[in-house]
Structure 1
């Protein structure tokens, strides 16, 4: 699956900016302390990532990031992300934030905070998360504290009119909550996620009591579901398998049929990944009552080490026209584990378009196993060029 990075917050509708007023904001407004700079972010490093890029990506970069222009820059980031050049997109945020006064050495020093700044920081945080640069991500989030500073809310600024709510993007709040699981105190992520869930509940309650349009309430309920699923996912990564599974079951009770099926499939993969064959079989039975998923059967065969059977299921899925990166990736791995390294590399390069970073990493690992240095270099260059051309 291609990495999804949200870049559309510049057109954010007011109701999506709603957020409960924190104590710090209320106190600042009562004391009329407008104008004080509370949030002072800055880049941890201005060193750009050195990555091979296609001519198309280089032209995109040069065109969109030669100067600070919100519309031009945003379109450039979208283009680079669509090309799967996440490292280059991250480089672009480094250059832009430095030009906008949030560069290296600026953390802890008074600076300007605008919705544009926070949109750009939000995109950068998503890129850092996608590229697994967790240490940099955690360091650059530190100046934002608990995202409750007065200058992170519209009502703190006298020139914002009647607009209220948070300047911080919802994607940033999600990352801010989850990033702690990669640090020395991973369980603190659970505390933040539960606080985030509570705040989203408050927004939903506010919308319900003010007779807001149903579409507004639905949008926030969708956000609540995202937070709850993140909670279940983080529990799983923390080793709380049963608690995670039960949480997903609870979410499923209020989900649509399509979403419930997707959750069942996800839980089945979880059970297989921890070796819980009994639960996996039960979940597989539940899913096949409504849908015969060859992908899940393939995962079960992979779990049992039956790579030939897994390959057969995946080929059935491919022939049915339901190709997806996870299915194609699994089929390539089946070929690899069956000793067909060259076939795996050929299959990967020919069939997977616009891969996410993890899939690209898998291809590089296969090349290491089955190709000479020269062949590996040529294939990677062709692959990088090809995925850029396919995105245009």
Structure 2
């Protein structure tokens, strides 16, 4: 939820004071605004599917936090991310940070910062990278004095910046003309998070608080691996993720990471690495549906479509098949010459969220449908 009790989240809001904050004179704090965000007018508002316009209007007629939040949750669960994005636009406009407000003073609160964080997550998922970078720019390096509670509130300390925003801020430069700069931000975020984990340990903080920050640190490490991989640093990303895999004591997490390493080897065409991690994954979960799916993918990789088909058929269909199973089954059908069946299979994923699944569906549909039929399929 966008609104929550400060005391309940206090340990998650902790953040060491930045050099910029320390440089401000105590008597001058609260008198100046450094961060002035706003929706960039250069970008066109996303069109809403006519079937959901009435529903959107029901949730976003005016500013009512409870109603608006229910609307955001409803559209996100339905996979209608464009509508959810428009919802954040309306809410930020009502809160004084809409179009034409960038560079103008407005009130920064816990709520507005959570709303911006959600908006940035939606922009990232919708691959609207130019708009993401443009609107993130107002927050600079997330170290401005007015981004700390204590800048205006003597009874509160910590950062107004949600950790999810820090993650996106660190990754965002990957979509800029200087993608390698994102690694510097990620390394800085990892160092800061490690510092906080150590501070909590030294202060003998409750175990649950330390574990919460350790999970955040793990997220940053995964982000580092993903960005390295996206930048083409395959060997380094595998090395780091394998180190994380070996260090974890959680068997389930170890299994998931092993399968991820197998897929990375497959994607890079590294048969040796793929087989190495496939064997380890098989030892951890040989009979699980997830492992059978991975075996099917490996069979496709080596050109053994018959074996891939055998593997996928071992999994008994359930009322709620996982998107991973559906996607793999569709790929097997495509590689065995059943493109129409592949389209029908991918269409079983509900909802089809914009991204890789939509791309897969569009690519497969190109092989067996007319343009009109394909377009009709993609707006269902």
Provide the residue aligned with 1:353 in structure 2: 350
How far apart, in 1, do the equivalents of 2:184 and 2:283 lie?
37
The equivalent position to 2:200 in structure 1, one of 204, 207, 219, is 207
Q: TM-score, normalised by structure 1?
A: 0.89
Which structure 1 segments of 5+ residues have no match? 1-6, 384-392
Equivalences, count: 371
Find the aligned partners of 1:120 and 1:348 in 2 and give their Cα distance: 32
Q: Which of the pair has the greater relative contact order for Cα pairs under 8 Å at 6+ separation? A: 1
Q: Is the 8 A contact 2:148 2:159 kept in 1?
A: yes
Aligned partners of 1:197 and 1:228 also within 8 Å? yes
TM-score using structure 2 length: 0.92
Match of 2:123 in 1: 128
Q: Where does residue 282 of structure 1 map in the other structure?
A: 276
- The answer to whether the aligner puts 1:183 opposite 2:176 as a matched pair is yes
Deviation at 1:320, TM superposition (A): 7.8
Match of residue 332, structure 2, among 322, 331, 334: 334
CA RMSD after TM alignment: 2.0
Task: For residue 362 of structure 2, give the secondary structure of its aligned residue in structure 1.
Answer: helix
Residue 52 (structure 1) aligned with residue 45 (structure 2) = no
> Does the alignment pair 1:251 with 2:265?
no
Matched, 1:267 2:261: yes
Of stretches 20-29 and 266-275 in structure 1, the one that deviates more from structure 2 is 20-29
Rounded to whole Å, the distance in 1 between the matches of 2:35 and 2:337 is: 55
Give the Å deviation of 1:161.
4.3
State the Cα distance separating 1:249 from its structure 2 match. Answer: 1.5
Aligned to 1:294: 292
CA distance in 1, matches of 2:175, 2:69: 29
Q: Deviations over 1:158-178 (max 9, x none)?
A: xx3422111111110000000
Say whether the 8 Å CA contact 2:35–2:146 is kept in structure 1.
yes
Q: Deviations over 1:186-227 (max 9, x none)?
A: 111111001111111122122112221110100100000000
Q: 1:312: how far off?
A: 2.4
CA contact (8 A) 1:265 1:283 kept: yes
Aligned pair in 2 of structure 1 residues 186, 125: CA closer, same or farther (>3 Å)? same
CA distance in 2, matches of 1:304, 1:353: 30
**Conserved? CA contact 1:28–1:34, under 8 Å:** no
Which residues in structure 2 correspond to 1:1-392 (within 5 Å)? 7=1, 10-11=4-5, 13-30=9-26, 32-45=28-41, 47-52=44-49, 54=51, 57-157=52-152, 160-255=153-248, 256-292=250-286, 293-319=291-317, 323-349=321-347, 351-358=348-355, 359-381=357-379, 383=380
- Matches of 2:159 and 2:47, distance apart in 1: 35
Query: Aligned pair in 2 of structure 1 residues 310, 10: CA closer, same or farther (>3 Å)?
Result: farther
- For the residues of structure 2 that align with 1:161 and 1:337, how far apart are their CA atoms? 64
Q: Render the CA deviation track for 1:104-142: whole Å, top value 9, x for unaligned.
A: 222222222111111111110000000111111011101
Question: How far apart are the structure 1 equivalents of 2:374 and 2:144?
Answer: 50
Separation in 1 of the partners of 2:328 and 2:158? Answer: 44
